[in-house]
Structure 1
Amino acid sequence: MNAFTFLLCVLMHEVTGQIKDISPARILVPQRIVSENSNLHVICSTFGFKKNTPVYVYLCNNGTGVERLSQKPEENDSTFTLTKVTPTDSGEYSCVHSISEYKPDEVNATGINSIGIHVLANFQPANLTLSSPSSVSQGAKVEFVCSLPYVLQTLDDCGSVQSYLMRDRAIYQVQGFDVKQREARFVIQDAVQKDSGLYSCVVRPSQCFKDAERLTGNNAVILQVQKG
């Protein structure tokens, strides 16, 4: 046996050993949809799956370990807290455990069950259309339609969430967004010159509200109000 073959056998043995050393656990979560920047709490239970020994419990996202906790022999539950989650933390979560300590990202496995967790962005950019010409006279009625081409996921299955008409990247109007119809309508009655500007819209599927001044939608439309 040459040196290359020997090294390959050793590496295969280590990988195989790690796979055999990982055992499944059960995952429990209080919420499957959470808002951005909130904390996600996940319970991994080894009850019925381990002997009375200390183990390391791994929280996995899409089959790859992301967090690790040690668990005492008399314990069966380990609570993971992911702080200030972002939409990139969305995925299929599961739990496994091992008597060996690994770096979380070295663990590639899934547990007894998996739970899909979706992290809602605080603000979702939307599409904006103008029902009137982009140039109108003073006193005209102007209507904007803020819409999404897909069904919006919300916290607690809200039927209506807030949406924002932005002018020059600042909040100009707040309106209810119909989740079922996937749109909101903004109206400017008796437009004046100061209503001129660059408009866009965003939707707030969560209950958080931060950094509104920097929000932009998928596109922007120009409204120019002329003197009568």
Structure 2
Amino acid sequence: MTLHKSTLLALVATLLTLFALPVKAQFEFGPTAGVGTVMDKPIQGAGLAADLGVSARYTFLKDAPVSVQLRLDATYGYLYAGSVRKNVIQHVRFGQQDDRFAFAWQDHMIRVPLTVGVRLNNVLGGKLSLRVGGYYGRGIAGKVRYNKTPEGLSFPEFDSYKSNTIKGAAGYEGNFITLAQNEHRLGVLASIDVNIYKQLDLSLYYMGDLVDSWDSINFKPAIKPNALKLGLSYWF
């Protein structure tokens, strides 16, 4: 049996065991929002990352010293970086790793994070939870606007999720073709959640893409955005 199958079976067995336990459990749902800074080596300076969505969580072993929580989110995510050092322009005159390019980047996506956590009921009166997991993301819209190019070239703002053909400038034979952004993302998530007032939770969480935003094999450097954010969740 492969490691992947063994891990999957262990996860399923754990979840079935939790559901079968004759102990108190709790189901909650509610809105969630977060904001923070996006980072990666090609991203120059500070960037912005924001989330808005809905969440549902199920708490097992509610009255035990340690409760187990399973949480599923569906969020809209926004990313902005004012200067990203990368060339996504394909042209016979430019090398694929040409470092004379920098652009402003906006990205919109839908993410579905799934996390497993523990609530430490003997710490801060049961107000502290720790979660880890992963997410699937689907890019829905993106924009690239170059603010630095070689030899004074200029390019119109273009959709980063489509292959765009830009008419060649004087002295440059042939058209410019842009490299389309990857629509599908996978990433990891880790969070510390603190209940600050009744049903209101404050979270400090990290999200990091595992898949490059553009083709990382032929066009370096790779961009795998990661962000540290503060979030609020209200539970019903």
Question: TM-score if structure 1 supplies the norm length?
Answer: 0.24
Q: Which of the pair is proportionally richer in strand?
A: 2
**Bigger Cα Rg:** 1
Question: TM-score if structure 2 supplies the norm length?
Answer: 0.23
Q: Which of the pair is proportionally richer in helix?
A: 1
